Chains A and B, each alone.
Chain A
Amino acid sequence: MTLELSQLTEHVKTMGETVAQRHRTRADLISLARRWLTDYADRAEALRVRARAEGVAVPAESALDAVHALPEMPERYTVVGADGSQIQPDRHGAALYYVINIGSLVYRHGSGQAPEARSEAMLGFREDDLYENGTPVAGNLLDVRRDLAELRRLADACESEQPGPVIALADGPITLWVLKDLPGGARKAKVTAHLDQLDRIQRAGGIVGGFVSRPGSKEVTRLLHLVHTLSDDAKKSELPNPLELLADRAVFATLPAGARSALFISPKEINEQYYAPRGHEAHFFYVNLAKGESDPVVARVEVPAWVAREEQGVDIIHAVVVAQARIAGDYPYVLARADELAYVSGRERAALESMVLSSLMSAGVHSSLSPKAHYKRLTRQGF
């Protein structure tokens, strides 16, 4: 019934020692990666075609190790953050349904006004909502619907805001993560709907970006290994890639406080196949959100090609992300609030379940939880 911590004591101790050892090895790898970044900094131009072919980060600037200081902040700007949460359909529940809840905050910096906080909930219960070509809408299919709803909310906000810099911040990458094995043209249709929202933001004059906290991507470290293998210094011992498990953020932890790295193009297949032809090819940079002498906090920011092309667009999103992150502590304030506004608590879930039961009873439908769900509820409640 409870976690027997005493059974894990020895394992936890061993784990601590293992992690410490891993950190020591990792420090050597970080030094190696940074050396390669400096040594091969001028190879960006020559690498582009090969990088695309190998599926590693594609350099978008002439110097791989370029560092851009924190730009000037516009005096007034609007930043919108949106985030979503969902209640997955539960076949053990009283009825089959799901909920998507989108939280958003419109923050008008320099206006002296209270930001506009919003939570918008959607209940999916019809056959069309619950199944796509016979597949239940859950897991990745529901995640995709939530991601689309988040971007739609950002597009709505960009269209309704007054002229002036409007920055739309999404929580996570700006490319949609859709399973490849969806039947028929389902994958294309979903990505197209996502691209349509990016079009709306672009037409409205917004600047869109995706913020990735503690990113785990290894696209730049793989690029560094690629460029090294092409050099004369390559040794057999460095194959396979010694940096294979090293996240890019470790390499960019030397960025000065507030500064950003060079721009790169995301090598994801979906990016090249769908986003690039529509002008929204995802670019990214790393940024150190820390203030002054504090320990580095490296985040990844993704922007579409039309933002990346304009240095002013990248500068604004860079400055706004850093300013926002410094309000709430290394994470953009608007995203922290959007997450809070989207969050559905256990109590709210229980209240919704009870509303659903009452509604079913009023409609003359006798329904109940499955025996499994019933007993889970009994054993997990109480003191």
Chain B
Amino acid sequence: MIDKEFQVGRVLRASTRGFAIGCAVMQPDIPAFGSFVKAELEASGQLIYGLIYDVRVEDDPFVRQFIGANPPDEVVLDQRENRQVPIEVEILAVGCGQGDVIRHCLPSQPPVTLDWLYQCTDEEVRAFTNRFDYFRLILEAREAPSDELLASSVRTAAAARPEGEREAFLVDAGRELVRLLARDPSRLEGILRRLRA
């Protein structure tokens, strides 16, 4: 059963490699780069896991009128604090699941238009990142800023764990990166630097 409190938005377009959602949210609720999300395929009950790699604030014709018009402070505050921001979020597919089984691979089918996308809970993030097989999918992704995304997702996964377990998790993730990028030391160094940042 998916908790509707974690709804992010509905799928706009999709492929097996990733998908995009559109939503209107208040400014503090804008989804964050590197967050783990999931979509549920209604027909099969299969879950698709993904990572947010781009969040774009869409053009808003109402706001457009104020550009260059020097609106009063009250209007700026109203637009920022009271109005929902139309955004489009791009997600890279990094795994799928059925029941308790989670696999780090591309899904066999994409979600369909208007399917809901949900933010993963800390528990789900921990379950998904018990293994690091999804690193390869990120490193090979051409559409996403993969090094930045990988570092950000590892930091997100570490933050989802109790404080005492975080360092060990980061060390394990670093070891997996060393194994995957042994032949590309400069790229490895760049990701490790981002992880430490």
Contact = CB atoms under 8 A, between A and B. Distances in A.
B65 A114 contact: no
Contact of B75 (A111, A329, A333, A340): A333
A284 interface: no
A333 B76 CA distance: 12
Which 6 residue pairs across A and B have the least CB separation, nearest first? Answer: A114-B77, A117-B82, A114-B81, A115-B78, A329-B65, A112-B73
Point out which of B72, B74, B80 has the most chain A C-beta atoms below 10 A from its C-beta: B74
A99 interface: no
A328 B65 contact: yes
Interface footprint category on B: 10 to 19
Interface in A171-208: none
Nearest to B80: A114
A340 B62 contact: yes
Contacts, number: 39
Interface string A113-133: 111010000000000000000
B78 A337 contact: yes
B78 A336 contact: no
A107 interface: yes
B22 to A, nearest CB: 11
B32 to A, nearest CB: 23
A105 B80 CA distance: 14
A336 B74 CA distance: 15
A99 to B, nearest CB: 20
Interface of B: 62, 65-66, 69, 71-75, 77-78, 80-83
Nearest to B81: A114
Contacts of A109: 72, 74
Interface of A: 105, 107-109, 111-115, 117, 327-329, 333, 336-337, 340
B74 to A, nearest CB: 6
Contacts of A337: 78, 82
Contacts of A112: 73-74, 77
22 contacts: A105-B78, A107-B74, A107-B78, A108-B74, A109-B72, A109-B74, A112-B77, A113-B74, A113-B77, A114-B77, A114-B82, A115-B77, A115-B78, A115-B82, A117-B82, A327-B66, A327-B71, A328-B62, A329-B65, A336-B62, A337-B78, A337-B82
A114 B62 contact: no
Contacts of B62: 328, 336, 340
B65 A111 contact: no
Nearest to B82: A117
Given A107-B74, A114-B74, A114-B80, 6 more contacts: A105-B78, A108-B74, A112-B74, A113-B74, A117-B78, A328-B62
Point out which of B66, B69, B72, B80 has the most chain A C-beta atoms below 10 A from its C-beta: B72
